[in-house]
A = this chain, B = another copy of it.
Amino acid sequence: MIEREIETSDPPATGRPGMRTGTAKSAATDAMHDRIVETAKQLVRQFGYQKTTVADIAAELDMSPANVYRFFSSKAAICEDVARKLAADVREKMREAADDPSLGARERLRRLVLANHHEIVNRCIADKRTHAMVHAAVENNWSVVQEHQESIRQMIAEIISDGIDAGEFSVSDPEAASHCFQAALISACHPVIVEGRLRAGEDIQPTLDPLLDFALRGLGSREPSGG
């Protein structure tokens, strides 16, 4: 039912699928990439993931559908880049929330997770059309999903590393610990799971703090004893 070939060797950072012409004029090419992705992003928001066609995107840019295929190898490639942009936005919010150097690692991890949760609720689930795309991304194992998860894990690992240096955590391996920490909080940070919990009428908010405390304890941290 579902075709898949998401094992291309793209450099994950640039997000530019390899095309035949990709030799010299990469500046103009990248600019056109952005225009197409931005247009697609807007149309996906407006009409939904399924209803947006390549012809729509081309028409919006006053070009032929065929021309779009000079820049992207498929519609899926375009939509993956749209999702990549969305994921990058979410991570940016997370960074803003957690990159306060005056805070301890505990508090930074807490804010990182809470920001992630809130972005998921507000950005990925509240908007039906966007959520349909997120759902498709997860269901079909778009590479952007794993990239996003891995990027977040690295953010976690860095904070854990800082926390270890500061003597806040007793774990020794930030990489291993970040995997566990992320897995332990998946019920608050996985769009599909969160959506399911909300649809079941659950009130997630009061479960976040206890679960965060639990996971932080998994890192070997203790809450400040004095109150």
Interfacial residues, chain A to chain B (CB-CB below 8 A):
138, 141, 146, 176-177, 179-181, 183-187, 190, 192-193, 196, 199-200, 207, 210-211, 213-215, 217-218, 220
Please, could you name 26 A-B residue pairs with CB atoms under 8 Å apart, sorted by A? A138-B196, A141-B200, A146-B200, A176-B210, A179-B210, A179-B211, A180-B211, A180-B214, A181-B214, A183-B184, A183-B207, A183-B211, A183-B214, A184-B185, A184-B211, A184-B215, A184-B218, A186-B186, A186-B187, A190-B193, A192-B192, A214-B215, A215-B218, A217-B218, A217-B220, A218-B218
Copies of this chain assembled into the complex: 2
Q: Name A192's closest neighbour in chain B (CB-CB).
A: B192
Measured between alpha carbons, how far is A196 from B176 in the docked complex, in Å?
21
Residues of B within 8 Å of A213, CB to CB, are 180
Q: Are B186 and A193 in contact (CB under 8 A)?
A: yes
Q: Name A145's closest neighbour in chain B (CB-CB).
A: B200
Measured between alpha carbons, how far is A215 from B176 in the docked complex, in Å?
13
Measured between alpha carbons, how far is A67 from B217 in the docked complex, in Å?
56
Q: Which of B138, B176, B183, B199 contacts A187 (CB 8 A)?
A: B183
Residues of B within 8 Å of A215, CB to CB, are 180, 184, 214, 218
Residues of B within 8 Å of A193, CB to CB, are 186, 190, 193
Q: Name A177's closest neighbour in chain B (CB-CB).
A: B214
Measured between alpha carbons, how far is A185 from B180 in the docked complex, in Å?
9
Residues of B within 8 Å of A214, CB to CB, are 177, 180-181, 183-184, 215, 218
Other contacts beyond A180-B214, A184-B185: 13, CB < 8 A: A141-B199, A176-B210, A177-B214, A180-B211, A180-B213, A180-B215, A184-B211, A186-B187, A214-B215, A214-B218, A217-B218, A217-B220, A218-B218
Measured between alpha carbons, how far is A215 from B219 in the docked complex, in Å?
10
Residues of B within 8 Å of A211, CB to CB, are 179-180, 183-184
